[in-house]
Amino acid sequence: MRFFLQTKFGTYLKLAELIFFPSECELCSRLLELPDERIICRTCLQGLKPRRTSFCLCCGKFFDDAGEPHFCSQCVLQKPVFSVHRSCGPYFGSLKDTIILFKYRGFHVLDKALATFVLQSLGREESLWWGVDSIIPVPLFPEKQKKRGFNQASELARELARQKNIDLIENQLIKVKKTPPQTSLEASERRKNLKEAFAVIRDQGIKDKTILLVDDVYTTGSTLQECSLALMKAGALEVRALTIAQA
């Protein structure tokens, strides 16, 4: 009887799962059969590879050549407010598709898979992690977060903080200005648009601390730049930044 109930419960569980989650991989349409597979199959997740070409030691921009990392011309002229930024790979192909599923299709169950990918790619980068006191996600404007139902950067930051055992600070760095979607704007417009868009409302865990900012996609760096300015204004010792991909 007990075995029967257990089997029946297991069947209900699987049925519930099939209702809430698609049963085919959203990227390759293969049937999701393994117990821990959600939305994307294990093969597709293992296919996500970090970029191994050269990059700017400061802003993290990828270079096309395979030489040693060095400073880009922009960082030689003027360094950003954050001391270092790194992303795992280009916003392209299956990495882009996975981020879109996570961010716009609302499959936040992918947070663990993406955090694991981030740590496989950049988990040993001492320039990012050494001495970090707290992790802070790039905030969304409250109205936008309400509409989306969640903040993708928070989900990712939460998972990274858990896996790395670092304090997570949420709701202290906030977005105070509603801005149009950054993708629709030129670089200079983006900067202007985001000016003073972020503020720190409580400096506990920020003042005199080394902060790692987390976001999903890096485009021109304006968002990270403005968040870093707000954090430095609140007394942060150093701000570093990490994103999954760069466009």
The span of 8-16, 66-74, 139-147, 151-159 binding Zn ion (CB under 5 A) equals 66-74
Helix 93-103 to helix 111-122 angle (10° resolution) is: 140
End-to-end CA distance of the chain: 57
**Out of 32, 48, 56, 157, which residue is the one contacting Zn ion (CB under 5 A)?**
56
Considering the complex, state which of residue 160 and residue 213 has its C-beta at the smaller distance from Zn ion. 213
Map the footprint of Zn ion across residues 13-52, applying CB under 5 A: 25, 27-28, 30, 41, 44
Considering the complex, state which of residue 58 and residue 234 has its C-beta at the smaller distance from Zn ion. 58
Do residues 102 and 26 touch, judged by C-beta distance below 8 A? no
Considering the complex, state which of residue 27 and residue 157 has its C-beta at the smaller distance from Zn ion. 27
With binding defined as CB under 5 A, does residue 95 bind Zn ion? no
Considering the complex, state which of residue 75 and residue 232 has its C-beta at the smaller distance from Zn ion. 75
All residues at 6 or more sequence positions from 168 whose CB lies less than 8 Å from its CB, including other chains: 134, 135, 136, 157, 158, 161, 162
Cα–Cα distance between 177 and 163 in angstroms, integer? 32
CB of 54 to Zn ion, least distance (A): 11
CB of 125 to Zn ion, least distance (A): 16
Is residue 127 helix, strand or coil? helix
Cα atoms in the 13 Å half-sphere on the side-chain side of 82: 26
Considering the complex, state which of residue 44 and residue 244 has its C-beta at the smaller distance from Zn ion. 44
All residues at 6 or more sequence positions from 200 whose CB lies less than 8 Å from its CB, including other chains: 172, 173, 174, 206, 230, 231, 233, 234
CB of 85 to Zn ion, least distance (A): 8
**Out of 32, 39, 58, 113, which residue is the one contacting Zn ion (CB under 5 A)?**
58
Most distant CA pair in the chain, distance: 74
Binding interface with Zn ion (CB under 5 A): 25, 27-28, 30, 41, 44, 56, 58-59, 72, 75
